[in-house]
Amino acid sequence: MSEENKNQWVENVDVCIVGAGHAGCEAALASARLGLETVMFTVSVDSIALMPCNPNVGGTSKGHLVREVDALGGEMGKNIDKTFIQSKMLNVSKGPAVHSLRAQADKAEYSRSMRRVLENTENLTIKQAEICKLIIEENQVKGVVTNTGTTYMCKAVVLCTGTYLKARCLCGEAITYTGPSGLQAANNLSQNLIDNGILLRRFKTGTPARMDKRSIDFSKMEEQFGDERIIPFSYSTDPESVQKEQVSCWLTYTNEETHKIIRANLDRSPIYAGIIEGTGPRYCPSIEDKVVKFAEKERHQVFIEPEGLYTNEMYIGGMSSSLPEDVQLKMYRTVPGLENCKIVRNAYAIEYDCLEPNQLLPSLELKKISGLFCAGQFNGSSGYEEAAAQGLIAGINAAMKIKGKDPLVLDRSEAYIGVLIDDLVTKDNREPYRMMTSRAEYRLLLRQDNADLRLRKFGYEVGLVSKEDYEKTLKKQEAIEKEVNRLKSTMVGANKRTQDFLTRHESSLLKTGASLADLMCRPELTYENLAELDDERQNLPYDVLEEVIIQVKYEGYIERQMHQVAQFKKMEKKLIPDDIDYDDVSSLRLEARQKLKQFRPLSVGQASRLSGVTPADISVLLVYLEQLKYRKK
Ligand SMILES: Cc1cc2nc3c(=O)[nH]c(=O)nc-3n(C[C@H](O)[C@H](O)[C@H](O)COP(=O)(O)OP(=O)(O)OC[C@H]3O[C@@H](n4cnc5c(N)ncnc54)[C@H](O)[C@@H]3O)c2cc1C
């Protein structure tokens, strides 16, 4: 922005959302739907809810996040239910904790549909402009300034800048200073944030090439179909409305020829030539990384996914890269089915500025600057779903702040969103953070099927979920409890009818009577086949039944996890005074003292999750806090 800019125009609003990606959209909708006058900025309104990478929403643990966003009153679940082109429940052969929905999206339709919702939301204005500066006075955010010099005074700002801040894209030796998909980068805000004492770092991520489907030979690949019976993401979507024709995806593999070409050209890879400064995601590795780090593997999976119904572009999943174009062509053409492929968009890596998230409170507000919230890839996460989850929480909490209400903070035992945010603000993540079920220690309780039972009440309390939807969930809860209790109290005798049934199902005979619930816990018996012995049975909706079966079959595991959660909550409730002087806690180890002084955790529970703080340090801290209580009396 040139010095002599004379534009003195000032707008007054409640909330400014910087970004219209997956985080920005949820933040803007939450803030506007909670009655706040909201403006959402983006460098290009044509890139609202853009999917610059994989054409799908959900997948293992990410499907859980989408369901949780929906249960709280967010938009992503509804939007993908309207725009998916294939849907599949993953991991159904495994336990319910890892069942996860994934839907292939029509990217262009996904963006158009989200834009329609945003454009027709009251209290919400969309503005194409680059935010170059924040107005901060006495550690309070007051407004933002655009590249044209217009000022928007406001009470809260949510930064959801994704992969755009000081972005640069690398395809071999070719470097362009743009955002994803050739969009304008945002080059001015980073310095302003640094000048205001905000610590930034450099991350990178990458994407594979897109190819013209007419140049692909699908006869050499394995066709991947969607599920016959489609289950929607959103609790508000009528399941019958999503039963539709689906497109296929395709599976093929790299081979030794592919790996040879990559090895021979690593010197031209910006990653291995050390040109890329940013740190990339370990769990979304480029094909170069896979070939180098898993050299023993003879082949790597390659998923060919349609980008949409009205385009010939196909996404080459599993082969993201930043190798030069000529090498990309040679490499891709060794893959069965891609021998004659035509690249529409080259694979590339992108580097960008993002935040050190341990500067954030669990509400996603900056500790040092009141009213400034941050969400999405800017917080060091990776993925549409992770971004949407944070955007929703940040948007809700910006509104709660302005309304003088307590922020919504979900803990690790309540939601994957709680795990995501706690890991971001507490742990020392040195690379883009991607959600995984293994990160959630209470995952048997945090299933994708019960997100509404866990979170609808929070969405209702903050004002995003309607009374009608909340009551629907309460009724569902009631129906589940009623059926579980009925199964537990309905006894079947060790009579001929029962014994014949058990014999036919190769299940051990009864010596005395047993409840239907007891029998259901036998692996060879199911709720379905026990219908024969269950005269009182009613027809129950699919979603109620799903819960009943899980709660009966996994009761023991669930109770054990509930017990662990009770222990966890005890430590979370042990709050640490804001003004604690860790130098006064004499027997703390040096490393722990340094970490505690740097992070200043809110509770003993959060302190226990800091790397470098041991259980012994926590015992020392607990004793000190007890003594402090008496000192203050
Ligand atoms: C090349 C590439 C590859 C990726 N690969 C993967 C992957 O393999 N796996 C994965 O999980 N995720 C991947 N992602 C990440 C995924 O796209 C993001 O996680 C997701 O889009 C993040 O959403 P967001 O809302 O945080 O940010 P974005 O979707 O990046 O949106 C940011 C928004 O902020 C706006 N903006 C930024 N700065 C300003 C400013 N100063 N003023 C005004 N507007 C501004 C932009 O216009 C845009 O609307 C990749 C992304 C890219 C670009």
Question: CB of 136 within 8 A of CB of 355?
Answer: no
How many whole angstroms from 442 Cα to the centroid of ligand 1? 29
How far is the centre of ligand 1, averaged over its atoms, from the C-alpha of 401 (Å)?
Answer: 26
Assess contact for 494 and 487: CB atoms under 8 A: no
Residue 629 has pLDDT above 90, yes or no: no
Residue whose CB lies within 8 A of the most ligand 1 atoms, among 147, 377, 393, 435, for a mutation test:
377
Ligand 1 pocket residues where CB is under 6 Å = 18-24, 41-44, 47, 50, 52-53, 130-131, 160-165, 180, 186, 189, 205-207, 284, 320, 350, 376-378, 382-384, 387, 434
Q: Which of 77-81, 85-89, 135-139, 426-430 has the lowest mean pLDDT?
A: 426-430
Ligand 1 centroid vs 33 CA: distance in angstroms?
A: 23
Among candidate residues 330, 376, 368, 335, the one with its CA nearest the CA of residue 352: 376
Give yes or no for residue 411 having a pLDDT over 70: yes
Q: Is the pLDDT of residue 632 over 80?
A: no
Residue 284 binned pLDDT confidence (cut-offs 50, 70, 90):
confident
User: What mean pLDDT do residues 288-307 have?
Assistant: 96
Residue 278 pLDDT: 81
Average pLDDT over residues 100-121: 98
Q: What distance in Å separates the CA atoms of residue 294 and residue 420, rounded to the nearest whole number?
A: 28
Asked if 33 contacts 354 with a C-beta cutoff of 8 angstroms, the reply is no
pLDDT band at 3 (very low <50, low <70, confident <90, very high): low
582 is written with which tokens?
């860790």
pLDDT digits (tens, 9 = 90+) for 478-498: 999 999 999 999 999 999 999
In angstroms, rounded to a whole number, what is the distance separating the alpha carbons of residues 46 and 183? 10
Under DSSP, the state recorded for 46 is: G
For residue 190, the model assigns a pLDDT of 98
Can you read off the two tokens belonging to residue 251?
A: 């599976």
Query: 129 pLDDT band (50/70/90 cuts)?
Result: very high
Residue 569 near residue 412, CB atoms below 8 Å: no
Q: At what angle do helices 62-71 and 416-426 cross, to 10 degrees?
A: 110
At residue 517, does pLDDT exceed 80? yes
- Nearest CA residue ID for atom 20, ligand 1: 384
**Cα 424 to middle of ligand 1, angstroms:** 17
pLDDT of residue 281: 77
Cβ contact 454:71 at 8 Å: yes
pTM above 0.85, yes or no: yes
**Residue-averaged pLDDT of the chain:** 95
pLDDT at residue 1, rounded to an integer = 45
For the CA of 147, the nearest atom of ligand 1: 42
Protein residue with its CA nearest to atom 21 in ligand 1 = 384
Residue closest via CA to ligand 1's atom 29 equals 21
Averaged pLDDT for residues 160-168: 98
- Which residues touch 187 (CB under 8 Å, ≥6 apart)? 165, 166, 177
Distance CA 349, CA 321 (A): 7
Quick one: pLDDT band at residue 633, thresholds 50, 70, 90? low
Return the percentage of the chain with pLDDT > 90, whole number. Answer: 92
pLDDT at 442: 96
Of 97-106, 157-166, 281-290, the one with minimum mean pLDDT is 281-290
* 522, 525, 528, 533: CA torsion to nearest 10: -100
CA of 532 to the centre of ligand 1 (A): 54
pLDDT of the residue at 84: 98
pLDDT tens-digit map of 182-213: 999 999 999 999 999 999 999 999 999 999 99
Query: What number is the average pLDDT over the span 410-432?
Result: 96
Question: Which strands, in side-by-side order, build the sheet including 151-153?
Answer: 10-12, 151-153, 140-146, 131-137
Q: What pLDDT is attached to residue 4?
A: 63
Q: 460 near 470, Cβ under 8 Å?
A: yes
Domains and CATH numbers, the chain: 10-204+352-462 (3.50.50.60), 210-349 (2.40.30.260), 481-558 (1.10.10.1800), 574-632 (1.10.150.570)
Which atom in ligand 1 lies closest to the alpha carbon of residue 183? 47
HEC readout, 108-163: HHHHHHHHHHHHCCCCEEEEECCEEEEEEECCEEEEEEECCCCEEECCEEEECCCC
Range scoring the smallest mean pLDDT among 246-250, 268-272, 386-390, 407-411 = 268-272
